Structure 1
Amino acid sequence: MPVKTNNDCASILSSALRESELSPFIGTPCGILAPLYRQLQNAPGLLGMPREDSAIGVAAGCAMAGRSPVVLMQNSGLGQSVNALASLIAPYRLPVLLIVGMRGTGPDATQENEVMGRLSETILEASGIPYRHLDPDDLTDQVTWSRDLVAGRRKPAALLVPPALFGWRP
C-alpha cells in the first residue's frame, strides 16, 4: 500500500467527515488544520469563528437543536475553552466533536506551546471527553468511532491532530 501524503490525509479525513452525520463545521484558525480547512471550504455549513469558546457556544446551540457539530481548533483554544467545555459540553453530554491541532507536540517544540501540548489530553480526560490521536492509517475508522459517539450516542468526543499529519512544520 502506498504511503499517504499529507494532502491524502486531509482529503480522506474531509471526505469521511462530510460523509458522516456530523455537521455543521465550526472553527477558528489553526496552521496545523489549514489543509483540512482547504478540503472543507466548500462543505455546507462551514462557519469561521474568532474565538474557540464562541465556537463551542455555537456548537452547543447546534447540538441542542439536534445537530452533531464539529469544532475545529488549536489546542491553545482548547485551553481557552475549558470553562465552556467543563460547564456546558461535558456535564450536559452535548454531542460535539472537537478536532484539535496539537501544537507543542511532535516536531513543534516551541516554548510557548509546550505546556498546552502536555495539558490537552489532561483537560479532555478531566472533562470526561474521550479522544483519539489521528493516525494516517486509520482515519476513516477514527471518524466512524467519533461519529458513533457524537451522532449515535449523543456524547462529546475529540480527535487530536498531530502536527505532522498534514505536513505542518515549525
Structure 2
Amino acid sequence: MADYPLTAESIKNQFKRAGIHFVVALPDRVTSHYLLKGLINDPEFKVVQVCKEDEGVSICSGLYAAGHKSVFMMQYTGFLDSINAIRGVAVEGHFPVCMVVGLLGKEPDVAPTQSKKYGVKIIEPILDVMGIERYLIERDADTAQIGSAIDKSFKNSSPSAILIGREPR
C-alpha cells in the first residue's frame, strides 16, 4: 500500500493536524472503504452518519456554533443535490463547512473539468461561481492542502471543498 498514490492515513493525519474531532458523513464509494472506516475505528473522531447531504451542512454548522470543528464527507452527486443548503447556510450564513467531496468516476491524473463524467466536469465551475475555495487531492503529496484548507475555512468563516480525485487506500 505504501506505493499507492493516495492513502487514507495521510488524509486522516491532516484532519488531526487541523483539530478535527467530528466527521459528518454520508457514505460514498470513493471515501468509505478505507477512509471512513478508518475514521470510525479511530477513537479521536466522532463520526455522525447522515441520510441526506443537506442534513450534513446543518449539522456541521451547528457543531461550529457549539465550538467544534468538523468536516463533511460526501460524493459529488450529493454536493450537487445539496447546493441550496450549501448556498443558504454555508455561503450566505458564513459557516465554515469543510466538504470532503469524492469524485466518483474521475479518471486518475485528469483535471475534473476534463473528465468524461458530466457531474465531475461541472463541480469546479459550480464551486467557483459559489465562491467556494477548492482543493484537488489525488496523491499523498497533495494532502498538505487539507489542513491548510480547513484552517483557512475556519479562520474566514467560509465553506471549502476538498475534492478527492481517487479512492484513498
TM-score by length of 2: 0.83
Count how many residue pairs are aligned between Structure 1 and Structure 2.
159
State the partner residue of 2:82. 81
Q: Does 1:166 align with 2:168?
A: yes
Listed one character per residue, the Cα deviations across residues 102-160 of structure 1 (whole Å, up to 9, x for unaligned) are 024216xxxxx922111211221121110110031424421222122123333211110
8 Å Cα contact 2:40/2:46 also seen in 1: no
Q: Does 1:37 align with 2:39?
A: no
TM-score by length of 1: 0.83
8 Å Cα contact 1:52/1:80 also seen in 2: yes
Of 9, 16, 19, the residue aligned with 2:17 is 19
Extract unaligned runs of 5+ from structure 1: 108-112
Deviation at 1:3, TM superposition (A): 6.1
Are the structure 2 counterparts of residues 95 and 23 from structure 1 closer, same or farther at C-alpha, using a change threshold of 3 Å?
farther
Listed one character per residue, the Cα deviations across residues 69-91 of structure 1 (whole Å, up to 9, x for unaligned) are 20000000000110001111011
CA RMSD of aligned residues (A): 2.2
Listed one character per residue, the Cα deviations across residues 50-105 of structure 1 (whole Å, up to 9, x for unaligned) are 11111111112112223222000000000011000111101122112100000242
Separation (CA, whole Å) in 1 of partners of 2:12 and 2:142: 10
8 Å Cα contact 2:61/2:90 also seen in 1: yes
State the partner residue of 1:71. 72
